[in-house]
Chains A and B, each alone.
Chain A
Amino acid sequence: MAEVALEGRGLQFSASGSPLVHGVSTALVGGAVLGIIGPNGAGKSTLVKLLIGQLTPDAGEVTLMARPLFDWPRRERAALIGHLPQHFEPHWDYRVDELLRLGLDRAGPRASSLADLAANFGLVPILKRHWSTLSGGERARALAAAVLAPDPPVVLADEPAAALDVGQAAALMARLGKLADGGAAVAVVVHDLNLAARWCDRLLLMEGGRAVMEASPAEVLESPELDRVFATRFQRVALPGGGMVLAPGEAAG
């Protein structure tokens, strides 16, 4: 059985008296991609922030490699967890190579070289370009390269495909899938249910800060809970080679 790399148990978090995450338990295992889905305000991003230690839970605990998350020295934690944020706009107009260097800095002695990293993410031709001159796809690749520079065994991505076109989004999800194939434990918040169906090994469906269900993509996507949570009647079209495509139908109720 694959090893649990990052685990949250009974996580609760409130802000200004409103519960944003309520009693959620989930685990990221090596070699698999966990998709976190749910409507806006479901608590997906808050859950990611709790899992990476950016927020401290009011109750519950997060463990990294079976050790409480906050017991890890900050720099070690930074090398073990890669976090692709939902929004990223640097305050200074960094060049791509400068961004990669900042990512590589936290890798310590096992860092790959800047040249290898750039080659791996297809960034060699744009290494000297400034962030402000990059296209959306180039930005996504540059950010992913900086975040994944230390080759972290745990990766959490918060809607990384939100600002990308269909092809770029598929390429990014494929890259996350490849990381899992290499043994990494990956979690990704994703709005596009078809991307989730195609690239995730398990799905966690959230609503109002609670976990509604966590199961295989087929189980979650076929469940009537999905229609209820998203308040729509999905049309489910089976694909000839297996799997399915979802299209939103009429608003439910």
Chain B
Amino acid sequence: MIFLLPVIGLAAGLLLGAETLSPAEMLALVTDPDTPMSHLILQWRLPRVLAAGCVGALLALGGAIFQGVFRNPLAEPYLLGSAGGAAVGATVALLVVLPFSAALALPLLAFLGAWGATWLVLAMARLTGRASIAALLLAGVAVAAVLAAVRSFLMLALSDETVSLQAVLSWALGGVQTPSWPELGLLGALTVAAVALSQSLARGLDLLGLGEGLAESFGLAVRRFVALAVLAAAFIVAVSTVWGGLVGFVGLMAPHLARWRHGPLHGGLMPRAAAIGAGLVMLCDGLARAVLPPAEIPLGLVTALIGGPFFLLILAREVRRG
């Protein structure tokens, strides 16, 4: 059932929009691809919905790895500041003239930003002695706030008539733009690579769930593994941020729902989380286009409206557990 969610999300994403279609209308458009409307749906809406699915899958995988590494059910790319770090890196790439190509600068700086921010949060949380839930969240909130301020400053100081502030801002609020087919192919390939990468981490994450001591005695090189997993998660978050901007809470909700249905072993949890994340973001992207037509509301706003209460529910449960 979980693996049907991307299909449901795809259908919803294709139907919803400034002009929402009924399933019958969609069927008619698909069977008659020569109309302007069907051209619009297939060349504009379809690649965007597929890109949203990839972004959702990546966010879910990033969240699942972070939750596994930090053994913290509230860890996720947005709250940990890693998505914020990627956004700062990406903003620099968009606004600063760099001595190398923008196509390279954007993913590279986004990756470095995500990686640096995650380590900063982890180091700050460890100052308290151990990376507890509260320490991790507070450190994440602080780092995310500083990064948001840095990003805003960069946007105000560096944007000019050649780079639309509006475009950067809408990207930062979270939103998937329609990619070209080659771009979509690259994003799809990176998403498949991310699924494979996360699978290779599954056993280590399972062992980490036993605690560092037992994981060590079961043969896991804990320090090396954590460093590798954070690197992998930073890469995944950077790719999702480059294509989707700052989209919060998907990395929190999708792994939780997958764990609830499947259990905590990561080999099965990761692909399920990716499927849930893909379906969720495709649906949310459709809603973002359909709620206030012809305007679009930011994707990050829709996911925050759904994910915020979800986060509070989990937080309340964790606080009750102590």
Contact = CB atoms under 8 A, between A and B. Distances in A.
Interface in A88-111: 88-95, 98-99, 101-103, 105-106
Contact of A89 (B207, B211, B217): B211
Interface string A60-84: 0000000000000011011101110
Contact of B71 (A74, A91, A102): A91
A146 B62 CA distance: 29
A91 B207 CA distance: 10
Interface string B211-245: 10110111111000000000000000000000000
A93 B264 contact: yes
B207 to A, nearest CB: 6
- Chain A residues touching B, range: 20 to 34
- Chain B residues touching A, range: 20 to 34
Nearest to B221: A74
B219 A75 contact: yes
Interface string A38-75: 00000000000000111000000000000000000011
B217 A102 contact: no
A91 B213 contact: no
Contacts of A93: 264
B126 interface: no
B211 A54 contact: no
A146 to B, nearest CB: 8
B218 A92 contact: no
B213 A85 contact: yes
A88 B214 contact: yes
A143 to B, nearest CB: 9
Contacts of B203: 105
Nearest to A102: B206
Contacts of A103: 218
Nearest to B70: A91
A78 B218 contact: yes
A45 B263 CA distance: 33
A71 to B, nearest CB: 15
Contact of A85 (B207, B214, B219): B214
A53 B213 CA distance: 11
Given A54-B216, A54-B217, A91-B71, A102 B263 contact: no
A38 B19 CA distance: 77
Contacts of B219: 74-75, 77-79, 106
Interface in A144-188: 147
A90 B73 CA distance: 13
B209 A92 contact: yes
Contacts of B71: 91-92
Given A78-B218, A78-B219, A92-B259, A102 B207 contact: yes
B186 interface: no
A46 B191 CA distance: 45
A8 B208 CA distance: 28
B18 interface: no
Could you say which of B208, B213, B217, B219 has the most chain A C-beta atoms within 10 Å of its C-beta? B217
B46 interface: no
A87 B140 CA distance: 29
B213 A94 contact: no
Contacts of B265: 94, 98, 101
B97 interface: no
Contacts of B264: 92-94, 98
Given A78-B217, A94-B209, A102-B207, 17 more contacts: A53-B216, A54-B213, A54-B217, A74-B220, A78-B218, A78-B219, A82-B217, A88-B214, A90-B210, A90-B211, A91-B71, A92-B259, A98-B264, A98-B265, A106-B219, A147-B214, A147-B217
The list of the 9 closest CB pairs from A to B, nearest first, reads A78-B219, A92-B264, A91-B71, A83-B217, A75-B219, A92-B209, A91-B209, A106-B219, A74-B219
23 contacts: A52-B217, A74-B219, A78-B219, A82-B217, A83-B217, A85-B214, A85-B217, A89-B211, A91-B71, A91-B210, A91-B211, A92-B71, A92-B209, A92-B264, A93-B264, A94-B209, A94-B265, A98-B265, A99-B210, A101-B265, A105-B203, A106-B219, A147-B217
